[in-house]
Chain A
Amino acid sequence: MTPLLEVQDLRISFPTAGTRVSAVDGVSFTLERGEMLAVVGESGCGKSLTSLALLRLIPHPGRIEPGAVIRLDGQDVMALDEAGLRRIRGRRIGMIFQDPMTSLNPVFTVAAQIGESIRAHRKLRRAETRARALDLLREVGLPDPEARLDQYPHQLSGGMRQRVMIAIALASEPEILVADEPTTALDVTVQAQILEVLDRLRVARGMAVLLITHDLGIVAGRADRVAVMYAGRLVEEAPTPELFVHPSHPYTRGLLASVPRLSGPVTRLTPIAGTVPLPAAWPSGCRFHPRCPEVLPRCPTDDPPALGVGPGHQARCWLVEGSRP
């Protein structure tokens, strides 16, 4: 059976003085029906660009390099024209964004904005649209939904707005929901609630979720699989429990070591030294080698391929090769 979403060798380049640099450089992954895949990485690693590329929404002057494959249920997204893309955007792949404070149009009520999304999907009468909007608000767990319908975005809190954004995305009944840092702008308690909603919807609707985040902490216990991005590449991909128990890439281990733990002895957090290099200055060989605490002699020159660690577990690191029997 074909995967719901298949991405192969995705490269996204931007022009700089005379040449083009690739901000995303050869990313491949798949997403199955009803699955939650988390893409984790620092700012600037290309995770948001990757999510925008699924809808071919790369901002000008960036472009997806030829050779990339994006297939939605077997359909070639790269071959679609603008009209074809509009039929996919929202209807088959819904999207929610980082900042719920600015993602809603300030001059329309909640009902009007959800209604627009509903009617883009199917023709309903006014009263039916409103009833449907109310159902959606209940589904995303917005308190007091009847009163909220006729309110404007500025009358809602950040968490409420993100719920409304999710309701708008759900209105078209997409098969995939792409959530780009959906909780970054929210309080920690609200973060948990929003993730709870996403998880519940995934189970109830069989909707696949692609969760983009920089926070490994919110991934645990929710995502089925985790893909770790660094400098435009996927450096490790594994089922979530496996990743937390056996992180195989030094970058993943670094990420895990920099997150505080509630259980166990109190220790100093270990930061990853340095910052993510800019796309124009990516190092040769393994891109993590200048920051890597376990660097090998071959790392600065030889770029490691994705090496199998275990079932469904791959890492782009020479250490994996050495540790294998």
Chain B
Amino acid sequence: MTGSLRRTLLQVLASPSGRIGFLVLALLVLVAVVGPWLVPNPAAMPDLLAGATAPGRQHLLGTDHLNRDVLARVVHGARISLTLATLSVLLAVSLGAIVGLTAGWLGGWADATLMRGVDAALAIPRLFLLLMLVAVWEQMPLAALVAVLGATGWFATSRIVRGEVLRIREEAFVDAARALGAGSGRIIFRHLLPNTAGPLLVAATLGVGDVILLEAGLSFLGVGVRPPTPSWGGMILDGRPMLISAPWESLFPGLAIVVTVLAVNLVGDALRAALYPRSA
């Protein structure tokens, strides 16, 4: 597994777009991990009366309407956005893998029930689903937001996994494993699951981009990450009244979203190209 993973990674790095995406993403992760120690605490003693100041020597990206450093907030926001996205996608992919494996392995009645449920869930727009959930639970903590984003993000993944399981379970190596005495557990965890790792990885990577956008959208609507916790979507919302006079407050978090989602999608596409040369 480690070997084929390394091979895939090398292929991703071999394509120009994959390389750029990967480098940008690595940089963003680095910023998210160590950045908050390098920039000032955005909430520390703002001179409330000074208001928004334009980008300059003292504040590279300017300050917002509460005179908080925009660079510092974007960096802190990166940590929030990436953590939220990673955790909720991990949850979504795990749920999708479990449901897809169950449906594909059991087949018949269980498969029909699960997949019709997934069909129904896929018919409802995700943002609508999320808005309903956050409308019911107003002061949602971050952990709950992760859970909600994860719980609404696994439908498509489960269909992919189910399809892969239906294909792989007919492969000769599964028959061979059974002939050599493998039980259901070993076939599922040694043969089916590892062979769905590729599509799962692609789904997860592209899912991260989706979730970053969704979280920004929710925060922009005021129902995602709660202030004063900095989040990119929330920052755009905060800067909206002064979009003309002090555009930097919304502009830079907006740019951060664009760059991050672009990088994630470049890596996702390169992964897909590496794993499925024919579909690319």
Known A107-B4, A152-B3, A152-B4; contact A89-B175, beta-carbon cutoff 8 A? no
| Prevailing SS type, chain B contact patch | helix
Note all chain B residues with C-beta closer than 8 A to A109.
3
A55 at the interface (CB under 8 A from B): yes
Whether B173 lies near A104 (C-beta < 8 A) is yes
Q: Report whether B4 and A102 are in contact in the complex, using a CB–CB cutoff of 8 Å.
A: no
Taking the complex as formed, is B178 at the interface, i.e. its CB lies under 8 A from any CB of chain A?
yes
Could you tell me the distance in whole angstroms from the C-beta of A265 to the nearest C-beta in chain B?
42
Is B197 in the interface zone, CB < 8 Å from A?
A: yes
Interchain nearest-CB distance for B169 vs A (Å):
12
**A108 CB–B CB distance under 8 Å:** yes
B1 CB contacts on chain A under 8 angstroms = 107-108
Report whether A107 and B194 are in contact in the complex, using a CB–CB cutoff of 8 Å: yes
Q: Pick from B20-28, B114-122, B139-147, B179-187 the stretch touching chain A.
A: B179-187
A10 CA to B86 CA in the complex, in Å?
56
Whether A103 pairs with B173 at a CB distance below 8 angstroms is yes
Tell me how far the C-beta of A147 lies from the nearest C-beta in chain B, rounded to whole angstroms: 13
Known A102-B171, A102-B173, A105-B195; contact A172-B178, beta-carbon cutoff 8 A: no
Q: Is the CB of B180 within 8 A of A105?
A: no
8 A Cβ contacts from A98-115 to B: 99, 102-109
B4: A residues at CB distance < 8 A? 107, 152
Using an 8 Å CB-CB cutoff, how does the interface string of A109-150 with B read, 1 for contact, 0 for none?
A: 100000011001000000000000000000000000000001
A169 within 8 A of B: yes
A90-B3 contact, Cβ under 8 Å, with A104-B173, A107-B197, A116-B190: no
B244 in the interface (beta carbon within 8 A) = no
Let me know if A91 is at the binding interface, CB within 8 A: yes
Provide the residues of chain B in CB contact with A152, threshold 8 Å.
3-4
- Is A229 part of the binding interface, using a Cβ–Cβ cutoff of 8 Å? no
A207 on the interface (CB 8 Å rule)?
Answer: no
**Most chain-A CB neighbours within 10 Å: which of B172, B176, B182?**
B176
CB atoms of A89 and B180 under 8 A apart: yes
A107: B residues at CB distance < 8 A: 1, 4, 194-195, 197
Given contacts A103-B172, A152-B4, contact A89 B178 (CB under 8 A): yes
The chain A residue sitting closest to B171, CB to CB, is: A102
How far apart are the CA atoms of A86 and B179 in the complex, in Å? 8
CB of B176 within 8 A of CB of A97, answer yes
In whole angstroms, how far apart are the Cα atoms of A172 and B173 in the complex?
17
Residues of A within 8 A of B182 (CB): 86, 90, 120
A-chain residues with CB within 8 Å of residue B176 when the two chains form the complex: 95-97, 103-104, 165
Q: Is A168 an interface residue (CB 8 A)?
A: yes
Counting chain A CB atoms within 10 Å of each CB, which of B1, B171, B172 scores highest? B172
Contact with B along A75-98 (1 / 0, CB 8 A): 000000010001111110011110
Partner of B180, one of A94, A99, A108, A150: A94
Given contacts A90-B181, A91-B181, A105-B190, contact A97 B175 (CB under 8 A): yes
List, in ascending order, chain B residues with CB within 8 A of A150's CB: 3
- With A97-B172, A104-B173, A108-B1 as contacts: A55 and B179 at CB distance below 8 Å: yes
List the A side residues contacting B191 at CB < 8 Å.
Answer: 105
What chain A residues lie within 8 Å of B3 (beta carbons)? 109, 150, 152
Whether a CB of chain B sits under 8 angstroms from the CB of A57 is yes
Does B180 contact A120, Cβ atoms closer than 8 Å? yes
Interface centre among B3, B171, B172, B180 (most CB of A within 10 A): B180
Minimum CB distance partner of A117 in chain B: B180
Residues of B within 8 A of A86 (CB): 181-183
Contact indicator per residue, chain B 192-219, by CB within 8 Å of chain A (1) or not (0): 0011010000000000000000000000
Contact with B along A163-175 (1 / 0, CB 8 A): 0010011001000
A89, A106, A116, A120: the one contacting B179 at CB < 8 Å is A89
Q: Is the CB of B180 within 8 A of A169?
A: yes
Q: Shortest beta-carbon distance, B61 to chain A, in Å? A: 45
A sample of 6 more A-B contacts (CB under 8 A), given A95-B176, A103-B176, is A86-B183, A89-B181, A90-B181, A97-B179, A103-B173, A106-B173
30 contacts between A and B (CB under 8 A): A52-B179, A55-B179, A82-B183, A86-B181, A87-B181, A89-B178, A91-B181, A95-B176, A97-B176, A97-B179, A102-B172, A102-B173, A103-B175, A105-B173, A105-B191, A106-B173, A106-B195, A107-B4, A107-B194, A107-B195, A107-B197, A108-B190, A108-B194, A109-B3, A150-B3, A152-B3, A152-B4, A168-B180, A169-B180, A172-B180
Closest 7 CB pairs of A and B: A90-B181, A90-B180, A89-B181, A102-B172, A95-B179, A103-B176, A107-B194
Binding site for A on B (CB under 8 A): 1, 3-4, 171-173, 175-183, 190-191, 194-195, 197
